[in-house]
Amino acid sequence: MAEPATELQAPSSTARAVEFEQPLTERMRTFLRIELLHQQALFHAEDPTELSARAAVSSLLEVLTILGRGDVRSEIIKELKRQGEILASFTRQPGVDPARLQGLVDDVQKLRDRLTDSGPQLIHPLKECDFLNAIKHRSSIPGGTCKFDLPDYGYWLRLPDEERTKQFQEWLEIIRPVCDAVTQVLWLTRKANEPTEQTAIQGMYQHNMGRRLKPNLVRVVLSATGGIYPEISAGKHRFTVRFVKWQGIDLRPVQVDHDVRFLLTLC
């Protein structure tokens, strides 16, 4: 007997729901990776333990690796400009709070100006830091940052919490213009459209994208109690959401054979 269709209502304050995101552009992939690594760095920086300090430094170094590939700073500035233009276009629409809208426009402009003023050599002080470069080099080796490999790193990890945290915050401050801008861009992107309820027939949903308005991000929200999750694949003209059943780490997931209702947002 087939399983009954999974029902999903719009999440309420008490509903258990999980969100999945799929970037549709390389720019959005980069932004999401920066967001994750920055959040990890901030989280671990709050913990005074040596292991958390190591995790925070690793996240910082991964952000630097991303920022060292291509001109990410220019990509963020372009996206801020685009978001500012979108916000400005809402000025004369009915039901818009002018004060709130202007506040968002001003925030975007400030972030854009700050990132522009920082110049293309924004991360130069971190790239030229021999201490961080040594850790980055050894990080490519499994366990390569042990104290016997990097005694100066081992000494730094043993510094008083206040001193070590102060130094790490100074490093974070250098990349803050980038990370703050990415955070704002992603917030505006996620809030751009309202979710719509969709149904995946026998666990499969396909969406053809228009030629003019192509989303940058797909967001899928569904109940956390169904034991299923989406696998999202995308091409230039369409994307597909395939819902599969979690069967533990020792078995491959299988596509569900019943209809799945979910919330979809094209950002």
Task: Read off the pLDDT band of 15 (50, 70, 90).
Answer: low
The closest of 30, 21, 36 to 239, measured between CA atoms, is 21
Report the CATH number of the 17-25+193-266 domain: 2.60.440.10
Judged on CB neighbours under 10 Å (0-12, 13-18, 19+), 118 is: middle
User: How far lies 216's CA from each of 24, 77, 79, 86, 213, in Å?
Assistant: 5, 16, 11, 14, 10
More confident residue, 118 or 15: 118
pLDDT in tens, 25-44: 999 999 999 999 999 999 99
Helical (H) or strand (E) element with 84: helix 72-88
β-pairing, 217-223 with 260-266?
antiparallel
Three-class SS state of 238 = strand
Task: Read off the pLDDT band of 223 (50, 70, 90).
Answer: confident
Domain edges within the chain:
17-25+193-266, 26-190
3-state secondary structure 111-159: HHHHHHHHCCCCCHHHHCCHHHHHHHHHHCCCCCCCCCCCHHHHHHHCC
Task: Read off the pLDDT band of 7 (50, 70, 90).
Answer: very low
HSE-up (13 A, CA, CB side) for residue 195: 20
CB within 8 Å of 238: residues ≥ 6 apart? 206, 207, 208, 209
- For residue 161, what pLDDT is reported? 92
- The mean pLDDT value for 217-223 works out to 94
Q: Token pair 């003023």 is at which residue?
A: 117
Report the CATH number of the 26-190 domain: 1.10.3900.10
The closest of 118, 104, 76, 129 to 191, measured between CA atoms, is 104
- For residue 115, what pLDDT is reported? 93
Residue 86 has pLDDT above 70, yes or no: yes
Judged on CB neighbours under 10 Å (0-12, 13-18, 19+), 13 is: exposed
Helical (H) or strand (E) element with 29: helix 26-45
Averaged confidence pLDDT in the chain: 90
Picking from 7-21, 93-107, 207-221, 243-257, which range would have the lowest pLDDT averaged per residue? Answer: 7-21
- For residue 237, what pLDDT is reported? 84
Q: What angle do CA 218, 220, 221 make, to 5 degrees?
A: 150
CA 62 to chain centre: 14
CA-based Rg of the chain, rounded to a whole angstrom? 22
pLDDT in tens, 166-182: 999 999 999 999 999 99
User: Cα(248)–Cα(6) distance, rounded to whole angstroms?
Assistant: 20
**% residues pLDDT > 70 (the chain):** 94
pLDDT in tens, 198-219: 999 999 999 998 777 788 999 9
Max CA pair span of the chain: 65
